[in-house]
Structure formats: structure tokens, C-alpha cells
Amino acid sequence: MSRSHLLRAGTVVAALALGAAACGGGSSGSKAPKTTGVAAAYNAAVNGVVNASSKKGGTLNYVAASDFDSLDPARTYYAYSWNFQRIYQRTLMMFQTKPGAEGAQVTSDLATAPGVVTNSGKTVTYKLRDGITFEDGTAITSADIKYALERSFAEDVINGGPGATYLKPVLVGGTAYKGPYKDKAGLASIKTPDTKTISFDLVKPFSDFDYLMALPISTPVPQKKDTGARYQFHPVASGPYKIDTYQPNKLLKLVRNDKWNAASDPNRKALPDQIILTEGLQSDDMDARLLNGSADLEIEGTGVQPTAVSKILTNPELKKAADDPSTGFTRYISIQEKVAPFDNIHCRKAVQYAADKVALQFARGGPIAGGDFAGQMMPPTLPAYKQFDAYPSGPDHKGDLTKAKDELKLCGKPSGFTTKIATTNKGKGPKVAVALQQGLARVGIKADIIQVDSSTYYSGFIGVPDNVHKRGLGLAVAGWGPDFPTEYGFFESIVDGRAIKQQGNSNYSEFNDPTVNSLIDQAQATSDVAKRNDLWNQIDHKVMDGADYLPFVADKALDYRAPRLSNVYITGAFGMYDYVNIGIA
């Protein structure tokens, strides 16, 4: 799958981003959110709270095809993992528990308020709430948050999360710091003058800093309970639930945390008595469980499979329990320029033109459950979005085989070549790989499909450049949504050459264009909205000029919510249901 989103507080840009980031199916995306509750109907949860209730009790039954990439808050990078962990973990800041675009705004969680900016924008300070505790009743202090953030720098022990990507270049001394396991003195630019105060010294002003503190990396970790790489098997809870049972790829059971202080947490209602997540299921099996009432939600947010789509859309009772939101993700094929013959741009362009985007769209579920055709990387949910099609695939979107063959001649492979396609082993990934394989075969490009378990596919397989090179993984099925709902949150990890990592890499194609790197810096440095948007559009075009990315759909997903659920809505932060306050009506 991919990643997450957020938003920036206290700036004009944030307000504009909020207005443009509303998720929705069809025209429903333009409606104002309704937080007082709406009746169940098709797409009702896109901008409203379905079955609003404060009733407590019962057991929620969730399902997933795969395990989380990690339960370690410093290591996780999957969007649904970030969303789900908010049930039992708290962070300095968090997304509002409201539907639609309002859910993409950050609010205070462990902190009493957004960060106070001083020192010409280069110092940000937070104060902590009273009554915040871990699951054993121990008070959470600023030192626990400082330690948690420092863990994310220890890439030799904990890799794959966003901490190193975003914190290293932002904090003074961040690029040299190796984490608390090697440097017990800690990072000097994170200061904790007392148990209730934490401040950050920045290299330069960074308008998205509140967003960074809404990422799981700011989840407090008690140093005495830290088990390094094994912490993911039982992280210490700071929210209203705690982990009772965790069997990776099989079962996760959450029960109430009796040490949680409701008075310290205005964001969480803590309605169900327990939450049971069954993992490792086949996609069609999950859909069957949803439709027969034995499961309440599929938490990965990728939507139901084509068979279930047909059943839902043709049955009025089922349809009113479904939603078709724009998720903010771009589904794409990563073309690895470090793997021959894709070190030649014309071989990359041959793939661009040969792909059958209709087949790729239907592999994702079709126009409703899969998404709209995409010709660029930037998703339409971002404010700078301006539609264009970098490599037109013909009027029917099934490919331009003439141009593909011309590009093959230019790259010295007129008869085609062989390569490999990497994908997950469950969900829609295998179907996408087959659709790509068949499209490329029309011009002589023969591709073998390599399937890998979803829980390790991104961070441990295509996210390891050496592995990509050694295995000859020329193509990889991928998807990406903003780590926070700004253009920087979308592009930085996947196209900034300075963000390429040897473990947990998200720039799978290893795209590294000095012009793009410079434009990213310029965009982050300007407060002029029009200029900023123009720069991001230039970046979008320059990225597509390199032909390293083959976007095929701006993602949508047909999601199904059990009729018995309360407080169900799509959050603009993640483009999926907000799991924090769901209960049983």
C-alpha cells in the first residue's frame, strides 16, 4: 500500500489546502461536513457522521488481508497503520476526529495547543496536558516524547518510518545524529527543560512542523520498556486501549486501558469494550464476511473486490452502507532507472506508452472502486493540482503502441526486452501486475511477476535499493498518498533525491534530479501561495519528464461499513474511515 497525510496549522496556505482537500465520491466532495450525524446512505460517510452515538460497549470485528508493516510508532509507514494506531496511542498533535476535509486539520493531543513558534520561526515549543499516562499508570513526560523521536534516527535498529526522512534535515544536528542506542546523550536540538515542556531548534523555519508532530513518531516511548527492534511486538499504550493479544499476520486484540484518563483526552470517546482484528485473510473472504455481517470493517482502506462491488451497487440495502471516497493516493508503477535497460529513458518511455490504463484501472476495481485515469503524479486532492497527461495512451487509454515501438527503437531494443514486475501477494497488486504484464507484452516487453508479502513489500523489498538492483526488479506496483496533505507531504519522500535511503526507501525509482531538489526547497521557502503552487506544478511536470513514474489512477475505493456501526465517517487525513471513535449503534 502506501502512506499517510496531515495538514499545516496557522497559515494561509493551510486554509487553502483544507478547502481543496475534501475527499468525496462525485459531487459529495463539495458539501460541508456534518458532525451532528446523518442517516445511512450511499456516500453519506464521505462528509457526514453516519449513526452518530455515544453508546458504549460491545466488540468491534475488523479484518485485513495483511499484518501492519509495524506496530512500532517509529517504524510504521502504512496509512491504515497510522490511522489504526490512534485508537491506542497518542501523539503531540493529531488529526481532528471529524469527517471530510476537517479531519485533515491537526489539533492538540498530548500537547495543550499547537506549537508556539519563536526565534524567527526556528524554535517550536509545546506544553503537555495534565493527567496523561502510559498503560501502567506511569505519567508521560516530555522526556518520553524526546526519546521516542530520537529512536526514529536509529536507522540501523529501526528503519522504514518517516522520522529520519523528515526530522533529520529539519532539526539542528539531525543529519549527524545516530539515535539513542549509539548516542545516549540525545539530540541537543530537542530540549526538555521540565517534564511538561518540549522544544525544537530547527535549521530553518518549517511551516508543516505541527504535521510532523501528528505523525506516529511523536508517540511517547518509555525508555525502560524499549526493546529496540522488538518493541513492535508490544508497544506501550498511551490511549484508551492497550494490546491484549498480538499474533502477527493472524490476530490483534485491543482491550480497555484502565489507566487512561478521559479528562486528558478530548478527542477519543472509547466506545467499544474491545476491538478484534483478524489478519491474513484473502480479499474475497473479507468481502464475504463484511456482507454477511460477521465483520464490521476492512481496515486497510483499499476497498472491496470487483465481485463485491457488483453486489453492493446493485443492492439498495447494501449500497446505502457503502462509500466511494477519493483517497488522495496515486496508484502508479515505479520504473527503476538503476536497473537495465531502464537506465535508458527511452526504455522507460516505451513502458509509459505500452501500458493499458483501462486494464490497470479495472485491476484496481474500475472507475468507481479503482479511481479516475491519472496522467501525472500529483493527486487531485492537493491545492496545486492542475491536470495534464504526460504520456497520452490514446483516446481510449489502452496504450499508444506506435509510440511505444518508436521508443523501443530509440533505446536500442526494437524487439523488446525482459524484466521483472514486483508486487504484493494479496489484494489488488497481483491483478495490477498481470494487467501491466499483458499490456507490455503487446510490444515485446516480457515481464515476470515477483510477489512478496504485503507486510514487508515496501520497507523490506522494493524499499531496499540493493535488493532491487540484485533481483533486477525493473518495475514495481506502488501507491502513494501525502504523509501530510500538502504538496511537500506528497512529493518529498518519493522524488527528492536527497531522501533516498538504503533501508526503508520510498523513492523506489531512485529519482534524483538536482533541478527538482532545488524546486522543492524553493517551494517550501515561499509564503506566496500562487508562486508556491506554480513551483509544485513545475515539479510535477519535471518528475513526469523523467519517465520514472507511470501513474495510472487517482485512487478511489468502494468501502463498506457494517450497518450496526456508529460514528462512521471518512477522514480527510487518510482518505479512509476514521477508526478512533467508531462504536456499535
pLDDT score of 23 more than 80 = no
CATH number at residue 183: 3.40.190.10
| Within a domain: 314 | no
Residues 165 and 37 in one domain: yes
Cell numbers representing residue 246 in the block: 498480538
Residue written as grid cell 492538540: 108
- How do residues 259-309 score in pLDDT, each as one tens digit? 999 999 999 999 999 999 999 999 999 999 999 999 999 999 888 988 899
CA 537 centroid distance within chain: 22
What stretch of H or E contains 488? helix 487-495
At residue 580's C-alpha, the angle toward residues 22 and 198, to 5°, is 90
Residues 366 and 454 in one domain: yes
Residues 340 and 447 in one domain: yes
Q: Strand, helix or coil at 491?
A: helix
pLDDT score of 511 more than 70 = yes
Residues 116 and 258 in one domain: yes
| Within a domain: 81 | yes
Quickly list DSSP for 370-389: TEEE-SSSS-TTSTT-----
Q: Which amino acid is at 484?
A: F
Q: In angstroms, rounded to a whole number, what is the distance separating the alpha carbons of residues 6 and 11?
A: 14
Task: Give the strand pairing for 475-480 and 418-424.
Answer: parallel
Residues 526 and 578 in one domain: no
Residues 351 and 223 in one domain: no
Query: Is 434 within 8 Å of 333 (Cβ atoms)?
Result: no
Query: Given this model, what pLDDT does residue 366 score?
Result: 87
CATH number at residue 542: 3.10.105.10
Q: Exposed e or buried b for every residue in 395-434, given b needs 16+ CB within 10 A?
A: eebebbbebbbebbeebebeebbebbbbbbebbbbbbbbb
| Within a domain: 571 | yes
| Within a domain: 288 | no
Given pLDDT bands bounded at 50, 70 and 90, which one contains residue 382?
confident
Query: Is 571 within 8 Å of 481 (Cβ atoms)?
Result: no
Number of separate domains in the chain: 2
CA 128 centroid distance within chain: 27
Question: Would residue 126 be called left, alpha or beta, if left means φ above 0 and alpha means ψ between -120 and 50 degrees?
Answer: beta
What is the pTM for the complete model shown?
Answer: 0.79
Residues 547 and 426 in one domain: yes
Query: Is 268 within 8 Å of 240 (Cβ atoms)?
Result: yes
What stretch of H or E contains 112? none
Q: Which residues pair with 60 in a beta bridge?
A: 275
What stretch of H or E contains 351? helix 345-354
Query: Is 236 within 8 Å of 225 (Cβ atoms)?
Result: yes
Q: Which residues pair with 371 in a beta bridge?
A: 555
| Within a domain: 206 | yes
Query: Is 103 within 8 Å of 573 (Cβ atoms)?
Result: yes
User: Is 484 or 539 the better-scoring residue by pLDDT?
Assistant: 539
Residues 566 and 518 in one domain: no
pLDDT score of 105 more than 70 = yes
Least confident of 139-148, 447-456, 543-552: 447-456
Q: Strand, helix or coil at 442?
A: coil
H and E: helices and strands count for the chain: 19, 25
Query: Is 296 within 8 Å of 60 (Cβ atoms)?
Result: yes
Residues 472 and 563 in one domain: no
Task: Give the strand pairing for 48-50 and 59-63.
Answer: unpaired
Residues 22 and 50 in one domain: yes
Containing structural domain, residue 66:
12-275+559-584
Residues 438 and 517 in one domain: yes
Q: In angstroms, rounded to a whole number, what is the distance separating the alpha carbons of residues 282 and 290?
A: 13
Residues 93 and 137 in one domain: yes
Q: In angstroms, rounded to a whole number, what is the distance separating the alpha carbons of residues 516 and 522?
A: 10
- How do residues 325-377 score in pLDDT, each as one tens digit? 988 899 999 999 999 999 999 999 999 999 999 999 999 988 888 899 999 99
Q: In angstroms, rounded to a whole number, what is the distance separating the alpha carbons of residues 490 and 471?
A: 28
| Within a domain: 355 | yes
pLDDT score of 52 more than 70 = yes
